[in-house]
Amino acid sequence: MAQHNDLGKEGEDLAVEFLIKKGFKILNRNWRFKKAEIDIIAQKDNLLVMAEVKTRSTNYFGDPQEFIKPKQKQMLINAIDEYVVSRELDVNVRFDFIGIILNKKETKIEHLEDAFFHF
């Protein structure tokens, strides 16, 4: 596996641990619908959270959340809609972003709730 894939998987593992500590139950990881992939789907009470995780070894080229494009955002919205409708869920849905800077010197996790309203 390429080094960037290892970094991404390690970042997603950290994000899962982070959400579990916040009281979320992890329902799915890397759930796919058409061309979209939702990194983490988690639930806490009546709240379903779709979390996009971006991990970088440095923020030299910008913060991780700056790497989500409008087309990707729309594909993720369509995917979570399919997830909820196909399972006939009666939940509130929120899109979160978890940006992780991970290197030998530091591990920094930034959790943006309702992320579509932030960028």
Whether residue 64 is predicted with pLDDT greater than 60 in this model: the reply is: no
Q: Whole-angstrom Cα distance, residue 61 to residue 85?
A: 37
Quick one: how far is CA 58 from the chain centroid? Answer: 18
- Note the pLDDT of residue 62: 58
The residue range of the domain holding 38 is 3-117
The first and second tokens of residue 54, run together, are 């971006």
Give how far Cα 56 sits from Cα of 51, 103, 109, 114, Å. Answer: 16, 8, 11, 21
Prediction pTM value: 0.85
Domain count, the chain: 1
Q: Specify the DSSP class assigned to residue 67.
A: G
Whether residue 108 is predicted with pLDDT greater than 90 in this model: the reply is: no
Q: Return the SS3 of 87.
A: coil
CATH of the domain at 7: 3.40.1350.10
- Note the pLDDT of residue 4: 54
Whether residue 118 is predicted with pLDDT greater than 60 in this model: the reply is: no
Q: Whole-angstrom Cα distance, residue 62 to residue 39?
A: 21
